[in-house]
Amino acid sequence: MIPLAMSSFHPYLRFYWQTLFMTHAEFTRRLEFGKEELLAYANGTLLNDGPSDMGRLPSPPLLMFDRIVDVRHEGSRGLIVAEQDIALDAWYFWCHFRNDPVQPGCLAVDAVWQLIGFYLMLRGVQGCGRALGCGAVDFAGQIRPHNRVVRYEVTIKRVSEFREADSAVAIGDANILVDGEAIYSMRDARVGAFRGIRYDDYPKLSRNARGGLPKEVSNDAGSV
């Protein structure tokens, strides 16, 4: 049973103790995901036969979308679209800023990186996801407490696998809309998946307890 204090702390915590099994093959064929499935994936309980070195989504409150509504694959390219329901009392509105609440634009940038990393996993790529950077980011609007839905439309321009380095990289462009209005854009967002860097035994001081540069990416790339 989940302690009362924990279940009241966040309404989605109860899903951390649920197992919503699907096979890895079923996962890679899915074209949409609900909130419960995203939470189970973040907790590592969605798949009953997932690869041991498979990447994860962040857990709330840093999981920045509530559902994935469209996934498409076209060779080494694709599309992933997600939606976020805006909560009047979201944690960031209380601190960013006092008496002038607005969702930080950097959280939308991170949402795009999260989605590109998840897209890599849907392509069957293994390894922990890491943001590698992006090109231009433009902010033309804002997200306020009484907005309703943010939509993230991410066009995957290329997925490449670097076999000698046990890694893969995806590059995409994103448009972010709030209640149907385009407010942000992000170009050449890059996310990599790297094997062997998972830090499962946190907070123990172990092999992956400290950061640094991942393995050098080889020039021997092939599309997946």
Known catalytic residues? 96
Q: Does residue 139 have a cis bond before it (omega within 30 degrees)?
A: no
Burial class of residue 8, CB neighbours in 10 A (0-12, 13-18, 19+): exposed
Between the CA of residue 23 and those of 26, 48, 137, 179, 204, what are the distances in Å? 5, 6, 37, 35, 31
The neighbour count for residue 134, using CB atoms within 10 Å, is 20
The neighbour count for residue 17, using CB atoms within 10 Å, is 13
The neighbour count for residue 208, using CB atoms within 10 Å, is 14
Q: What is the CA radius of gyration of the chain?
A: 18
Distance between the two ends of the chain, CA-based, in angstroms? 43
